[in-house]
Copies of this chain bind each other. A is one copy, B any other.
Amino acid sequence: MESRRTVAPGPGKGAQTRARIVAVAAEAFARDGFDALSLRDLAGRAGLTHAGLKHHFATKEALLLEVLDERDRSDSEAFALWPHRRSGREVLRWAVEIVSRNTTQPGTASLYARLSGEAGDRHHPAHPHFFQRYRRLVAIIEAAFQEEAAQLPAHLAPRTAARQFVALMDGLQVQWLLDPDDVDMVAQLTAYLAGIGISIDDTKDRTTEEAPAR
C-alpha cells in the first residue's frame, strides 16, 4: 500500500534526512537567527519530530555548525579557508574580500561573532571548530605576510602581523555590527595593511577580474 514515507528505508535514508534538515535549517537560521528558531518547528518542516532531529544532531549548536560548514564548502572560494597557491598580496586581498562579503549577511556575521566568543570555553561544542579555524586562518595569513616580508617593517614578525590582522577582522566586525554606518571594514583593513607597507590594490598585479567568483 502507499506509504507516508517520503524517503525509502535502507541505506542512504539517514543521509537524505540529514541533508533535508540542513537545507531547512540553513534557510531558517538566516531568517530567524539562532535563538528565535525552534527545533520543533524546524523538525516539523523537515517531516519529523524534534527528538528525531536530535538523532541526527545532538544539539542545536551542532546543527548550526553543520550549516556553517556546509556554507563554507559550497561557498567555495570566498569562504574556503584554503585558496589555491597565490601570492601573499592575493591572499590578503582574498581575506578582505571575505570580510566585505560578510557585510551582506549581518545575521550570519552576528551568529559567527557570538559563537566565536562562546567557543572559547573548552567544553563548548563549537570549540574544536573555531580552534582549528583560527589556527588555519592565522597560518594562512602568516604565510602571506612571510612572502611580503620585504615590505614589512623590520621589527614586525609575520606571525605577529597575522594575529593582528585576524584580530582586526573580528574586532571590526563587532563594531560594524553595532554601528554599520560608522565603520568601514574594508577601508580599515586596507589602511592597516598600508600602514605596514603592503598595498593590495589589485590594479597592480592582476587584471580587473573580480575577487573570487562565488
Per-position 1/0 for A176-199, Cβ under 8 A of B: 011100010000100110111000
Chain A interface size range: 35 or more
Taking a contact as CB atoms closer than 8 A, the residue among B120, B167, B192 that contacts A172 in the complex is B167
A177–B117 contact, CB under 8 A? yes
Give the copy number.
2
Residues of B within 8 A of A196 (CB): 195
Known contacts A163-B172, A188-B160, A188-B164, A117 near B117 by CB under 8 Å = yes
B134–A178 contact, CB under 8 A? yes
Residue A171 is within 8 A (CB to CB) of chain B in the complex: yes
Taking a contact as CB atoms closer than 8 A, the residue among B33, B116, B155, B188 that contacts A167 in the complex is B188
Known contacts A110-B117, A117-B110, A134-B179, A167 near B160 by CB under 8 Å = no
- List residues of A (110-150) whose CB comes within 8 Å of B's CBs: 110, 112-121, 127, 130-131, 134-135, 138
Residues of B within 8 A of A130 (CB): 178
Bound-state Cα–Cα, A130 to B192, Å: 24
- How distant is A5 from chain B, measured CB to nearest CB, in Å? 37
Residue A153 is within 8 A (CB to CB) of chain B in the complex: yes
Given known contacts A117-B177, A120-B178, what 14 new A-B pairs fall within 8 Å (CB)?
Answer: A110-B117, A116-B174, A116-B178, A119-B177, A135-B179, A156-B191, A160-B188, A163-B175, A163-B188, A164-B168, A167-B174, A170-B170, A170-B171, A170-B174
> Can you name 23 A-B residue pairings with CB atoms under 8 Å?
A110-B118, A110-B120, A113-B118, A114-B114, A114-B117, A114-B118, A120-B174, A120-B178, A130-B178, A131-B179, A134-B174, A134-B178, A138-B175, A156-B191, A164-B168, A164-B188, A164-B192, A167-B167, A167-B175, A169-B171, A170-B171, A170-B174, A171-B171
**Taking beta carbons and an 8 Å cutoff, which residues of A are in contact with B?**
33, 106, 109-110, 112-121, 127, 130-131, 134-135, 138, 153, 155-156, 160, 163-164, 166-172, 174-175, 177-179, 183, 188, 191-192, 194-196
